[in-house]
Amino acid sequence: MINFGWWTTGRDKAAVELLNTAIEAIEGGRIRGKIAYIFLSRDKGESIYSDDIIEIAKGERPLLFYNPFAASVAKDTSSTSCAVH
């Protein structure tokens, strides 16, 4: 079995569907692996799709956030560091 990370922008319905398809394939044994973490480049509340990904990840695997757009406009870059939830 291989552990891997899932990187997504969570920008649209397709991002949510692709993650759900991968999870179903893992649970069904078609993919012999485990999603060790999900890296999301949007913050909670930024879109309904990224919020769906946050809900999918809850309690199942670590979720990392980093919003590069917020980082580019922030005066204090320490407030835009990667967060693990």
Query: Which tokens go with 26?
Result: 């893992």
Query: What's the pLDDT tens digit per position in 27-78?
Result: 999 999 999 999 998 888 889 999 999 999 987 788 887 776 665 444 444 4
Mean pLDDT of 1-19: 95
Domain ranges for the chain, please list them.
Answer: 2-84
Kindly tell me if the per-residue pLDDT of 26 is higher than 70. yes
Strand partners, 5: 37
The reported pLDDT for the residue numbered 81 is 42
Residue 84 region by backbone torsions, left for phi larger than 0, else alpha for psi between -120 and 50, else beta:
beta
The reported pLDDT for the residue numbered 65 is 77
Work out whether strand 2-8 and strand 33-40 pair parallel, antiparallel, or are unpaired: parallel
The reported pLDDT for the residue numbered 5 is 95
